Every structure is written in C-alpha cells, then in structure tokens.
Structure 1
Amino acid sequence: MSPASDERRAQLAANLAAVRAQIERACELAGRSPEEVTLIAVTKTFPAEDVRLLAELGVRDFGENRHQEAQEKVAEVADPELTWHFVGQLQANKARAVAEYAAVVHSVDRVRLVDALRRAVAGREQPLRCLVQVDLSDPDGVDGVDRPGGAGGRGGVPPDQVAEVAGAVAAAPGLVLGGVMAVAPLGVPPGPAFARLAGVATEVRTEHPEATWVSAGMSADLEDAIAHGATHVRLGRRLLGERSYDR
C-alpha cells in the first residue's frame, strides 16, 4: 500500500470510529441499541479505492445516487460481500440497469417505477428490496415555517399516497417491500419531519409487518433520525470528507 493509501486509510478509520461513536451516543439517548442501526456509506464522487478501504475497516453497505457512477464502481470493486444501495432518484428507463447491481432501491416514488422494477428483476435469483420514499415537505407549515406548496421538499410520495405505492411493491413478484425512506426538508429543524416519517412507517408496518426499514438521517441530521426510529442512516461527508464534484 502506498503512503497516500496508508494516509487515506487512517483518515477513513478515524472518521468511521467517530461516526460509530456518534451513532452509539444517539442510540443511547433514544434508548435504542446501536445494533438496530445500519450505516450506509454514501460514496458518490469518491473513488472505488475508498470503498475498498472502508470494506477493509468493516463497512458492508454502500450507497450511490448516480447510476453510471454506481455501475462503474460496483464493477471495479467486484466484492460479492458488499451490499449496494441505490439512494438517488431513479428514472423508470434505468430500472433494469440499476437492478443488475443494486440489492436495495431506496427511492421508489411511483407505481410506474414499481412496474419497471418488477419487469427488471424477472428471472433474478434474489429479490430486490424496495423502500418507498416519503415526501416530508410540510405545506401547512405545522413545523413553524410557511412554505407554500411544500417548498423545501426533497422528493418522494406524499404521505397520503404511500399506502398505494407500498401495496404495489408488496404485490410485485421479485420485489420485497423493505419499508420507507426520506430526506429531511431543507431549511427547517429535521425533528418534526422525522416524526412524521415515523408515523408513516408505523402505518406501513400495520399493513405490511415485514416492512421494518426506516432509511433516514444523513451527516447533518443523524441524531434526529435515530431518535425517531431510523434503522438505516446514509452518511457521506462525515465519513469520507467534503465532496469535490470535479473528481
């Protein structure tokens, strides 16, 4: 290993230790076990070598939100022990390509996409786990900020339409309904939004007891997400450092 690789590995190891300690503290405050929370390393814009180094340090779950970058990185790393999560917005015409490498799609937000994914996994040995992305924007301003029309939202299905999409996933051959995912709205405290997500997650589990995943929380709002029941957190900056989109 080169000196540069040694230095990067040491940096990632220190970041990972800090993140795991942060997750442990957040779980302690929430009265939860750290074993209930899975860390997903979001490696967009970072090289495949970082994935390899994190894998050596014990990380097994990796997230990408750009299909082309994800496809190339998965092929370059070529490690069957890793689980790849697609966490970005997904066009229906990319469903088949993403299903070739992703074990989980976090951003299912319409029945048309469910249909595309169902067709994409036909003949696949392992089912594709799908999470319904929930729009946590608050058009009524109950979180204390008036944002007409849900401004500040980060994509997803309005809460009153989640049941329809979740039902479509659960009924689709080759797909497994994993649960729900969300990104906190911009510009407001994330706690009330994640509380709404917790309520939606409970409603989904009432109809689909197997849908236990709650994918929520990123570098800026990890603690709030865990406090409101997140089972999977998606971390990039705190783990890998600041992104350079020129890489």
Structure 2
Amino acid sequence: MSAIASNLQAVRRRIETAAQACGRAPDDIALLAVSKTWPLDSVLQAAAAGQRAFGENYVQEGCDKAMATAGQGLEWHFIGPLQSNKTRPVAEHFAWVHGIDRLKIAERLSTQRPEHLPPLQVCVQVNVSGEASKSGCTLAEAPALCRAVAALPHLQLRGLMAIPEPADNEAAQRAPFRALRELYEQLRTSGLPLDTLSMGMSHDLEAAVAEGATIVRIGTAIFGERNYA
C-alpha cells in the first residue's frame, strides 16, 4: 500500500470517528483531497485508493490535471481565489467552485460555462474570521450574494465555504464553523435549497464535522507537507 493510500485510510477513519462522536452518519461527509502543488502521479495514487474528488487552487495546474484524467471518473473542485480573467478555463474544466466571493466572478462563470456541461456547482465563500488576508464576503453580505448567485443560469448554488483563522483548541475552532452553519441554516429557512457546508482541513476536520461540515478539504494529511519546489 502506498503512503498516500495509507494516509487516505487514516483520514477516513478520522472522519468516521468524528461523525460518530456527534451522532452523524459518516457517509454524509464527503472527502475532498486537496492536490494543489502535487504531481499527477500523487493524484493517480489517491484515485487508485478510491478517492474521486480533488481540489486545486491554481487554475493552470488544475486544468492540466483535469484534462490529463478526463474519462477516469474524477471530480475536480476549484477551491482557491479566482481572478476574473481566469474564470473561463475554470468554467470549462471544473465541476465545482468553492470560492465565489463576489457577484462578478459568478456572472462570468455562468456566462462561460459550456452549454453541453451540467451546471457548475458553486459555494459562496464567507470570511468568517474577518481576516484581511482571506478571500470571502462578510457574514452580513452573504445572504444577498447567495440570492444573486442562485438566480444565475448554468450555476447551481450548493452552499457555503470558509477557511477560518487557525486555532489551537477545538472550542476556538468550532466557533467560526458554528457561525457559518448558523448562516447556512438561516439561508435554508429563507428558501434557498442549500445542502453543502465546505469547511474543515487537516488540522480541524473534527471541529468542522461537529458543526455540520458536509465536505472537508484535506491536503496535508493525505499528501504530506506542501511541495512548493
């Protein structure tokens, strides 16, 4: 068994344990393997171990991997900040975009999504910690942005995404995830048919699962420390 396959097993056990601890079904939490900066071979090792959904932060790298694995049943998620001049290749090659933080990006993705493809699945990114260095709309801005995105053709608004400020203990980790979940529940109550909370990474997936995550985005715990060489 490869190291990546072993790591995937360990992450899946973490998700299962976290789900059981809060009375959730493990199958309700999807694992997104964040493969940014890792070579195609690493993706193929993970795919051979049963992983199907992969997340990328860089447009060209992600498109290259998506094209190289076309026909292999893999699902590609764009999870990084997206500039308006790079929306077209993302609209053409990805199944999901997690980081919608302004209407202009959503409008461009909607216009540029090829007619022969199913709607692009999208999440609105919320800056729950208020960090100046992080992308995302504010909690207050999110409802109006979500309603505007939901009205666009060729997109399907699935839910919310966040990357909170790192915290050292579970209580501090859970607080921003709880804020996102509460917003999500408010939006569902208002009539938006949302079903996705994309939150939780290698260091805080247990806290995210406890607060209702439906997708956890795991890179380091699967592939190792980032390879930026």
Question: Would the TM-score normalized by the shorter structure come out above 0.5?
Answer: yes
Please tell me the root mean square deviation across aligned C-alpha atoms, in Å: 1.5
- In the TM superposition, what whole-angstrom CA distance separates every residue of 1:103-122 from its partner, at most 9, and x where no partner exists? 00000001111111111115
The equivalent position to 1:178 in structure 2, one of 133, 158, 180, is 158
Counterpart check, 1:163 vs 2:143: yes
TM-score of the superposition, structure 2-length normalised?
0.94
Counterpart check, 1:33 vs 2:13: no
Aligned residue pairs total 226
Alignment identity in percent?
Answer: 40
Q: 2:179 is matched with which residue? A: 196
Cα 1:13–1:154 change in 2 (3 A) is same
Counterpart check, 1:10 vs 2:2: yes
Q: 1:232 is matched with which residue? A: 215
CA distance in 1 between counterparts of 2:215 and 2:53 reads: 10
Q: 2:53 is matched with which residue? A: 61
Give 1:208 deviation, angstroms. 4.0
* 1:239 alignment partner AA: I
Q: 1:78 is matched with which residue? A: 70
Give 1:153 deviation, angstroms. 5.9
- Residue pair 2:123, 2:160 contacting (<8 A) in 1 also: yes
- In the TM superposition, what whole-angstrom CA distance separates every residue of 1:112-141 from its partner, at most 9, and x where no partner exists? 11111111115243100110001111xxxx
CA distance in 1 between counterparts of 2:157 and 2:189 reads: 13
Q: 1:141 is matched with which residue? A: none
* 1:27 alignment partner AA: A
- Residue pair 1:152, 1:187 contacting (<8 A) in 2 also: no
TM-score of the superposition, structure 1-length normalised?
0.87
Q: Secondary structure at the match of 2:141?
A: helix
Q: More deviation in 9-18 or 218-227?
A: 9-18
- In the TM superposition, what whole-angstrom CA distance separates every residue of 1:186-221 from its partner, at most 9, and x where no partner exists? 356321111101111111212344211000000011
- Residue pair 1:153, 1:185 contacting (<8 A) in 2 also: no
4+ residue runs over 6 A deviation = none
CA distance in 2 between counterparts of 1:60 and 1:233 reads: 14
- Residue pair 2:91, 2:114 contacting (<8 A) in 1 also: no
- In the TM superposition, what whole-angstrom CA distance separates every residue of 1:18-66 from its partner, at most 9, and x where no partner exists? 1011001100111101000000000011111111111111111000010
The equivalent position to 1:103 in structure 2, one of 87, 90, 95, is 95
- Residue pair 1:135, 1:158 contacting (<8 A) in 2 also: yes
Q: Secondary structure at the match of 1:132?
A: strand
Give 1:80 deviation, angstroms. 4.3
Q: More deviation in 171-180 or 77-86?
A: 77-86
Unaligned runs of 5+ in 2: none
- Residue pair 1:214, 1:231 contacting (<8 A) in 2 also: yes
Q: 1:211 is matched with which residue? A: 194
CA distance in 1 between counterparts of 2:183 and 2:155 reads: 20
Q: 2:228 is matched with which residue? A: 245
